[in-house]
Structure 1
């Protein structure tokens, strides 16, 4: 499996003090009249810096009250005291567990430890957890963000803390980021269903505010529109944050006078809810309308035994990539922000290969 790494995605980190409370490395460099890299080398006690330059940087740091993040420096040098924080959406979701596993494996090989905290997709809890982990002096943060704005992350980045966004980018900060090829995966799923004769295709997704669902929805609608399907958003439903809500949405869609003949479910929990709805449908009046094709975004346990076609990817490798970016950022705070896009793969198992019972005209 190959990974596309695009960079630079942003200019080197710019420094701003955290609400006036924490002078940044950038402020020290500016006061001393040196580059950010030179200031970093001096404060990390690296060799081969002119004595006059070293003294000037040290004087600037003292005057500003700059406090070096010793734990982040340990990350770069392989020191003894290391903690990395992972702020995740929902640990009950196997996707996040796989992410955490990948992060932990990469850190373990470097003698580092992972602290994991779940936001339950609550932006305010995300802010509180971020602050709490920083107070514990973590050397880096990996975050799957549910918030729209990220002032706390922006301040920590400016203060020199390595921060990596995984699965969802933070559009208001410049940070290393690892995401799935959401658009490519959905395009593959929809094209697969179109090729099998489906024209009434539904999408059941998560909260509309989440970047991942926005990407998947836009790709879904665009792919149908390009295929000449009128009103491509007709069967789109969002807000299915759990399996029960997804089950209700799918039940509602299949009860329409002209129900979709195929479904794309935007994450693993939604797929489980859809499977329950399809099971409920067996033996009912709507079952006479024929089988419904199903493709789920995210693989999940037992999907192979259940014959569920999915858009898969390596979630653990996403975590490993995120941890590696954090280590690289700790080693070189001035490196440009990197974007890693993890590819997806269509895994055919039967449910996505069902054809519509009768020919369905394009609307």
Structure 2
């Protein structure tokens, strides 16, 4: 802060007043302070002041990708349940898959003096968050492990789930499996594809890269991907969908064309059992991602000290859809 004061030609007190949003500071002077702070890469660390005063905001933050997606909404619901039990308010922020937006949202939540953060991370590097953790803002990562940072996390066993489901399909005679996944920048998608490759290797079968469709984010992209795969000279006899939204689009396209290819979806979804054709899902307790992560965070907030832990949730292959629909 002293460097900012020198660069702006003002006192430390003035810098402090600008940072804390005091409205009576001269407009031009405040602008000089903000410009100097930006040039020097200075960011007020409210966590440090809260730590010094021993105060608690009785709030936690949740940074999540997309609340309109049932998967993320269920995680948020689990977090909210635990927060209520601890008489703590929950602030939710969104970042999508943009690493810059993610870091900006995290630092904004830190400025709001939250007692801790739960983060569904992007594929970006998170090493810059070590200073925030060291200054007293514990963080727990959900669904994905952070990159460049050793921290608490609650994740799904993506690799084993995808591998075992693929081995099941192979055991049923499916040696050409169309795979639909979101961007491979997402660690979860990479792990699922790696699990599929491992299953083919274990079965002594070659993998055909033409069967992989990436950047399939929702039903529309899934429909296009299924159409492409079905048009191959040797089309797949089964499909593996990397998330709940892509599975909906794939199922719709297969149903419209009265196709009978097998399908496995990673992630369950509401009313899946009422879909007018049989398929299977890799089910896991996604609400537990939120509840277990929040309980772990409150242990940190209470002052417990222990090495970073990773909680891994297993998956289960379950039948869905109307099994004998005509």
TM range (shorter): 0.7 to 0.9
Which structure has the higher relative contact order (CA within 8 Å, separation 6+)? Answer: 1
Q: Gaps spanning 5+ residues in structure 2: where?
A: 3-46
Runs of 4+ in structure 1 over 3 Å off = 66-75, 350-353
Please report the TM-score for the alignment, with normalisation by the length of structure 2: 0.80
Name the residue aligned to 2:270: 301
The equivalences for 1:199-348 within 5 A come to 199-282=175-258, 291-306=260-275, 307-332=278-303, 334-348=305-319
Q: CA deviation at 1:326?
A: 0.6
Secondary structure (helix, strand or coil) at the match of 2:68 reads: coil
- Provide, for residues 238-296 of structure 1, a one-character-per-residue CA deviation record: whole Å limited to 9, x for no partner: 111222112211110011111100001001011112122213423xxxxxxx6210010
Q: CA deviation at 1:120?
A: 2.1
Tell me if the contact between 2:176 and 2:238 (Cα under 8 Å) persists in the aligned partners: yes
- Stretch of structure 1 that moved more, 199-208 or 119-128: 119-128
2:64 corresponds, among 81, 88, 92, to 88
- Provide, for residues 194-229 of structure 1, a one-character-per-residue CA deviation record: whole Å limited to 9, x for no partner: 121111112110111000001000000110121121
Tell me if the contact between 2:127 and 2:147 (Cα under 8 Å) persists in the aligned partners: no
Please report the TM-score for the alignment, with normalisation by the length of structure 1: 0.72
Q: Gaps spanning 5+ residues in structure 1: where?
A: 1-19, 22-65, 76-80, 283-289, 354-363
Structure 2 vs 1, CA of residues 72 and 107 (structure 1 numbering), >3 Å: closer, same or farther?
Answer: farther
Structure 2 vs 1, CA of residues 68 and 192 (structure 1 numbering), >3 Å: closer, same or farther?
Answer: same
Secondary structure (helix, strand or coil) at the match of 2:293 reads: helix
In structure 2, distance between residues paired with 1:74 and 1:347? 47
Count of residues in Structure 1 that have an aligned counterpart in Structure 2: 279
In structure 2, distance between residues paired with 1:245 and 1:298? 17
In structure 1, distance between residues paired with 2:210 and 2:195? 14
1:69 corresponds, among 42, 45, 50, to 50
CA RMSD of aligned residues (A): 2.5
Secondary structure (helix, strand or coil) at the match of 1:212 reads: helix
